[in-house]
Amino acid sequence: MRLIYSLFIRLYGVLIHLASAFGNKKAKLWCDGRKNQWHKLKSANPDDQWIWIHVSSLGEFEQGLPIMEALKKDYPKYKLLITFFSPSGYEVKKDFPLADMVAYMPLDTISNAKRLVKNFNFKAVIFVKYEFWFNHIKVLKDRHIPLFYISTVLRPKQYFFKFWGKWFRKHFYKVKFFFTQNNKTADLLHKMGIENFTVAGDTRFDRVYEIAQQAQRFPDIEEFIGTRKCIIAGSSWPSDERLLYNFIENMPSNYCFIMVPHDISDSHVKQIESHLHDYQLYTNFDPSKKTSTLVINKIGILSKIYRYAKFAYIGAGFYDGIHNIQEAIVYDVPVVFGPKYHEFEEAVDLVRLKGAFVINNQRELEDVFYKFINDENYYEKASKICHDYVAGKIGATVKTMRVLEGFLS
């Protein structure tokens, strides 16, 4: 089975290179970033001890960041290698100052895995959430290098638990310790006979809470909002935006709207502009123009500006699964999103608790929005539910570090 898996991995690499050759921008970044990668990855001093943290992309990086910060603070003698699988994470964080080295994860082959552990004196390795790369896992176990998973989420429908998934499941026994997000994941591990775990929670809550405490100001946005109440649509996709246009054009005059599209390319922003009449772009903001809508055509500020929202719409619920709701609810902001949310525990919990609300069409969206606008008690109750939920979720980093201490000291 390992041979078949390894052949598939190599085929995957070939397909990515073909996509790059035919002009796929993300594939080209993926390939270009891995050119001459071993020149960087062989530069480690053999006398140094390293902790390797691997994340898939930017979201998982944010999830791992509280642990990275704690490791640097508590164990400064260890150097930190951060690797990414996706260029969307690497390109943003390749100059991350806390890391001693940032790189792409080498393609998951046995030879690459052996080469990596030969080049670095790893004290420990941490994979974030569900980055299961089975050849790297095998080589780490063979070399007696402890591997930890943080903020792990497992679901019964994942391929590990299919009738043909036994080969993949057996790699779970090669992991030193799991820090799970929830009891459901812990139960799945327990059913496999794995007991080296603890339910630590989601470190992403610690990260968004930290951002919220910093309370960074955005004078242009404050000028735009003025005395009005603000609604924010975060990481919106075209399928979300189509439902929002009518509300935006007809919302009460004491409200304003900030749209933060997932795609901020000129072509997509122009598409948004064609549906709006009273708007500005963030990069061309003019405080003398009193518009009802601001379109944010800049990356990296969404998580910080949710604090200006009374309530928020979270995008991608009609696509492949909603974007991060933690960034909004940490400010006590109730959230609304489309029907594809069931793989996100915090969304499922808050829908049940009535701090988050699911919509399937434009009418349902406007019903919820106007309920928040017209019924202050309804809004305040939802806001408090979000506040209490976040308060109960903070602390995963402390729980994780208490256990890691026993392996790293």
As assigned by CATH, the class of the 216-393 domain is alpha beta
Band (47; pLDDT cuts 50, 70, 90): confident
Report how far residue 47's alpha carbon sits from residue 365's, in angstroms, rounded to the nearest whole number: 59
pLDDT for the residue 403: 94
Report yes or no: 293 and 248 within 8 Å, Cβ to Cβ: yes
pLDDT in tens, 136-179: 999 999 999 999 999 999 999 999 999 999 999 999 999 999 99
Secondary structure E strands in 315-382: 335-337, 356-358
pLDDT for the residue 44: 78
The percent of residues above 90 in pLDDT, for the chain, comes to 92
Residue 294: its H or E element:
strand 293-295
Domain boundaries, the chain: 36-201, 216-393
Two domains, one topology: 36-201 and 216-393: yes
Residue 300 has pLDDT above 90, yes or no: no
Residue 299 has pLDDT above 90, yes or no: no
- In the numeric block, which tokens belong to residue 304? 């910080």
- Give the alpha-carbon dihedral of 232, 238, 241, 246, to 10 degrees: 170
Q: Which fold has domain 36-201?
A: Rossmann fold (3.40.50)
Report how far residue 357's alpha carbon sits from residue 241's, in angstroms, rounded to the nearest whole number: 17
